[in-house]
């Protein structure tokens, strides 16, 4: 299991890197531009911009994202 966790001021996001295939759906869908791809994996580099809409969780085809508000 390769699960990375980021703690922001308001939210916690975990991404299972065994599941993430780097397709960039979360990067595209997030209205707050929280994510970017690094080495073909998603990283929530701007986690504190998150508006807790849950689009990333709902649109990840791999169900790789866990979010404390979703
Ligand atoms: S949508 Fe899911 S599989 Fe695609 S880059 Fe984001 S975390 Fe990875
Ligand atoms: S919950 Fe919404 S704003 Fe927050 S990271 Fe996911 S898509 Fe972006």
Domain boundaries, the chain: 3-67
Contact 29, 56 (CB under 8 A): yes
Main-chain dihedrals φ then ψ at residue 15, nearest 5 degrees: -125, 130
In this structure, the residue with its CA closest to atom 2 of ligand 1 is 60
Q: Which atom of ligand 1 is nearest to the CA of 19?
A: 3
Q: Is the whole model's pTM more than 0.95, yes or no?
A: yes
* 34 C-alpha to ligand 2 centroid (Å): 7
Q: Which atom of ligand 2 sits closest to the CA of residue 54?
A: 1
**For the structural domain made of 3-67, what CATH number should be given?**
3.30.70.20
* CA atoms of 60 and 35, how far apart (whole Å): 12
Query: pLDDT tens-digit profile of 13-66?
Result: 999 999 999 999 999 999 999 999 999 999 999 999 999 999 999 999 999 999
Is residue 62 a contact partner of residue 20, using CB atoms and an 8 Å limit? yes
CA distance 51 to 61: 21
Q: Looking up tokens 């001021």, which residue turns up?
A: 9
Give the position, in ligand 1's atom list, of the atom nearest the Cα of 37.
Answer: 5
Structure tokens that stand for 47 in this block:
């986690």
Task: Note the pLDDT of residue 29.
Answer: 98
């Amino acid at each position: 299991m390769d699960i990375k966790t980021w703690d922001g001021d308001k939210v916690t996001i975990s991404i299972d890197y065994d599941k993430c295939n780097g397709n960039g759906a979360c990067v595209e869908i997030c209205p707050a531009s929280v994510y970017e791809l690094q080495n073909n994996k998603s990283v929530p580099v701007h986690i504190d911009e998150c508006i807790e809409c849950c689009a990333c969780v709902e649109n990840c085809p791999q169900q790789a994202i866990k979010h404390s508000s979703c």
